[in-house]
Amino acid sequence: MGIYINKEDKTYTLTTNNSMYQIKVDKYGILEHTYYGEKMDYMDMSYSVKCEGASFSPTFAGAERWEDSYNHKAQELSCAGIGDFRLTAVGVRNTDGSFGCEPRFVSYEIKEGKYSLNGLPAFYGDNAQTLIVTLKDKVYDIYFHLYYGVFEEYDLITRSLIIENKTEGKINLEKAMTLTLDLPASKTYDMLYFHGRHTRERMMERATIKHSQLTVESMRGASSHMENPFVVVCDKNANEEYGNTWGIGLVYSGNFKISAEKNLQEKTRIVAGINPENFNYEVLPNDSFVCPEVAMIYSNSGFAQMSNNFHKAIRNNLCRGQYKNAQRPVLINNWEGTYFNFNADKLVAMAKDAKELGVELFVMDDGWFGKRDDDHSGLGDWTPNEKKLQGTLSSLAKRINDLDMKFGIWFEPECISEDSDLYRAHPDYAFKMPSRVPQTSRNQYVLDFSRSEVVDNIYNQLVNVLDNANISYVKWDFNRHITDLYSVALPAERQGEVYHRYILGLYSLLERITTKYPNILFESCSGGGGRFDMGMLHYMPQVWTSDNSDAIDRLKIQYGTSFAYPVSTMGAHVSTCPNHQNARITPLKTRGNVAYFGTYGLELDVTKMTSEEKEEIKRQIKEFKKYYELIQRGDYYRLISPFTPEESLHCVWETVKPDGTEALVCAVRYETDACTAPEYARVKGLIKDKWYRINGSEEKYLGSALMNTGFKLDYIFDIYPSKLYHITLA
């Protein structure tokens, strides 16, 4: 059905394969949120959100009952300043300086296909429907256009908000968040969120939503290593395969905020969108402000179903370009192999050895341009250093191509070194507060991408490089967060727009570059996983998951990432030991098995490997390609969590063909113990009444047995051992 309108009771019901989302225009013209949960036959669900009395809340003008208060309403668009004392999404400073708005229903429209957003990334596709509901403030000519996208097959509902000023004067948005979600049931929920730090991103944590606010946010100018713009709200007893689960993700790469709280009626409200701290946006007459998209998936069967739907939606309807579903080349990156200490001959020698192992793409990382022998200079001068490269960039690319390998390159377009020609010519291009000495991080500043001339300068430099060498891959890095926020292009009263305008400038640059070079594979990076979000995935189909390439640390990093993001988006490499981030020594086989469940590549100097190690890499590349489609396109299941060491010594995950005929399980033991008790892995997604073999053994297992009892994990006497279990029909 998709979208169903009942004009009699003024309900708007969005349905997917397994979920239902309903809103209703009440007798006052207020748009109520009445239901979001398991799909069922149609009925008006507004009975479940009625308030029968709660004290100390104002009654809005024209109300018939004293209980009719904005503070009690389950509102689809919550506004500050008019009596709703809970979490609110929108705050408007009107033309007369008053603060507040009271949206009332005006009209609706249904369109086939998915809406798009001007200047912002969003899910797309003809396999969707769009509902647009327009509201207007009771007093001023301020319009609120709520956009809903419905993807039935993924149980995905997207939402955005466009705020339009039709008054004769300017208004200021002091808060412009996209989502208000009132869960109607009077119960207690948990929230899963994914915190961290550099080299330790997306560590899963679970907390109870209480009366005080539970908030996940970033104020760093990027979504950040420290928090991720994705959360899961769920029943207290929900797990991978049981319970009500709502996944909520923001399609945005800048400052964000997701907050939840229980209100005085013991009901839960969630808001999500642009972080309102240091945000104040001027909207002129006949102009609009577009809020970033929020993506929501409900599951009545726990986390796994929710995750797999996000994975499919992101792969098919968020990522774009020829690589979104194409097999990615196996690459080697020279960074941890050489750092800044290389020349063309060294890189070609690495590429020759890598080619013999089956590697298809050689990536030259930081240090190839300008004056760049360390991280103190050169950023902003995207001109090849021909002395270091022993010739032109084009000649180096040809030397790599002559080995029958593709050639890739690293950029950090958003930052600038003080010691650079660009900074000497245009010091105002960098963020810098008046009368203050700017702060450096990694000896660099951030360029003011809120200014089109700065974006144009960098665009032209990148085009000059990409047009003059055969480049098949670009790693796009961002190695510091924003401080000293100030744009010389805006007056003092509009500095609260800069954070968001920066992101709009970034997105405009990404749109131009990726459109001009559709055959280049772009990979996002921000000191590793510091900007792993749905916004960046709209432009680049993979992200360097973390600068930490240690296989054991990666268990938690990739496990947490998998709650929203598919395996195909996770950059994962085999690196050297002792590991450069934590000095751990891990078997090469384990490093490979973990990297399989990502894009798989190498991050080391292959010329220094032993013949035995090279043979193992050869084997891994063949094995990875053998299982590529199963790993990248299969349904993904988290079987045993690395966050529960008291329950198991293993981390185990699985990918299975959607038809249940084949599965691949990866088990890694991350702790050692003497006289270990046997451990079993219960797989998912098989056919109950079919027989299977594991790794081609003679022994057969019924699908229902493998899913209910599981199979015994082999005990391997080694440090950090791992094993793949290939499950096929007998």
What digits encode the pLDDT tens for the residues 227-256? 999 999 999 999 999 999 999 999 999 999
613 is catalytic: yes
pLDDT tens-digit series, residues 95-132: 999 999 999 999 999 999 999 999 999 999 999 999 99
My answer on whether 342 and 270 are in the same domain is no
pLDDT at residue 54, as a whole number: 66
Exposed e or buried b for every residue in 98-122, given b needs 16+ CB within 10 A? eebbbbebeebeeeeebbebeebbb
pLDDT at residue 497, as a whole number: 98
What lies within 8 Å, CB to CB, of 424 at 6+ separation is none
My answer on whether 158 and 226 are in the same domain is yes
> Taking the CB of residue 66, how many other CB atoms lie within 10 A of it?
11
The answer to whether residues 29 and 107 touch, using CB atoms and an 8 Å cutoff, is no
The CATH number linked to 493 is 3.20.20.70
pLDDT of 181 over the 80 cut:
yes
Q: Which of 610, 630, 650 is the last residue of a domain?
A: 630
My answer on whether 618 and 684 are in the same domain is no
My answer on whether 270 and 172 are in the same domain is yes
Give the side-chain half-sphere CA count within 13 A for 647.
10
Q: Which of 155, 282, 533, 662 is catalytic?
A: 533
Q: Where are the extended beta strands (E) located within 432-530?
A: 445-446, 473-476, 521-524
The CATH number linked to 705 is 2.60.40.1180
My answer on whether 626 and 640 are in the same domain is no
Q: For the chain, what percent of residues have pLDDT higher than 70?
A: 100
My answer on whether 205 and 135 are in the same domain is yes
Q: Which of 294, 317, 340 is the last residue of a domain?
A: 317
Mean pLDDT of the chain: 96
Average pLDDT on 468-481 reads 98
pLDDT of 67 over the 90 cut:
no
Residue 322 lies inside a defined structural domain of this protein: no
What lies within 8 Å, CB to CB, of 303 at 6+ separation is 192, 232, 234, 238, 239, 240, 241, 245, 563, 638
- pTM check: above 0.75: yes
Nearest CA to 317 among 565, 129, 569, 123?
Answer: 123
Average pLDDT on 571-594 reads 97
pLDDT at residue 675, as a whole number: 72
pLDDT at residue 56, as a whole number: 86
pLDDT tens-digit series, residues 324-345: 999 999 999 999 999 999 999 9
Average pLDDT on 50-73 reads 83
Residue 326 lies inside a defined structural domain of this protein: no
- The torsion defined by the Cα of 702, 705, 686 and 206, in degrees rounded to 10, comes to -170
- Cα separation, 271 vs 319, in Å, equals 25
My answer on whether 395 and 472 are in the same domain is yes
The CATH number linked to 293 is 2.70.98.60
- Cα separation, 329 vs 605, in Å, equals 18
My answer on whether 622 and 702 are in the same domain is no
Number of domains the chain contains: 3
> Taking the CB of residue 64, how many other CB atoms lie within 10 A of it?
9
Q: Which of 609, 630, 651 is the last residue of a domain?
A: 630
Residue 491 lies inside a defined structural domain of this protein: yes
pLDDT at residue 186, as a whole number: 74
- Cα separation, 588 vs 317, in Å, equals 36
pLDDT tens-digit series, residues 549-560: 999 999 999 999
Residue 498 backbone dihedrals phi, psi, to 5 degrees: -70, -45
Peptide bond into 658 cis (omega under 30): no
More confident residue, 1 or 640: 640
Phi-psi region of 184 (alpha: psi -120 to 50; beta: other; left: phi over 0): alpha
Residue 588 backbone dihedrals phi, psi, to 5 degrees: -60, -35
Pull the structure tokens for residue 48: 């479940």
Nearest CA to 11 among 39, 36, 48, 43?
Answer: 43
Residue 324 lies inside a defined structural domain of this protein: no
- Cα separation, 343 vs 374, in Å, equals 14
Residue 479 lies inside a defined structural domain of this protein: yes
Residue 325 lies inside a defined structural domain of this protein: no
Bridge partners for 4 per DSSP: 13
Residue at token pair 């968020």 = 318
- The torsion defined by the Cα of 641, 647, 649 and 652, in degrees rounded to 10, comes to -30
- Per DSSP bridges, beta strands 473-476 and 521-524 are parallel
533 is catalytic: yes
pLDDT tens-digit series, residues 13-25: 999 999 999 999 9
My answer on whether 484 and 522 are in the same domain is yes
> Taking the CB of residue 581, how many other CB atoms lie within 10 A of it?
18
My answer on whether 546 and 646 are in the same domain is no
pLDDT at residue 676, as a whole number: 78
pLDDT at residue 65, as a whole number: 83
Q: Which of 153, 484, 613, 623 is catalytic?
A: 613
Question: Per-residue confidence at 1, pLDDT binned at 50, 70, 90?
Answer: low
My answer on whether 264 and 386 are in the same domain is no
Residue 243 lies inside a defined structural domain of this protein: yes
Average pLDDT on 678-696 reads 97
Domain that holds residue 202: 3-317
What lies within 8 Å, CB to CB, of 667 at 6+ separation is 640, 650, 651, 652, 681, 713, 722, 723, 725
Q: For the chain, what percent of residues have pLDDT higher than 90?
A: 93
pLDDT of 43 over the 90 cut:
yes
Residue 539 lies inside a defined structural domain of this protein: yes
pLDDT at residue 647, as a whole number: 87
My answer on whether 430 and 290 are in the same domain is no
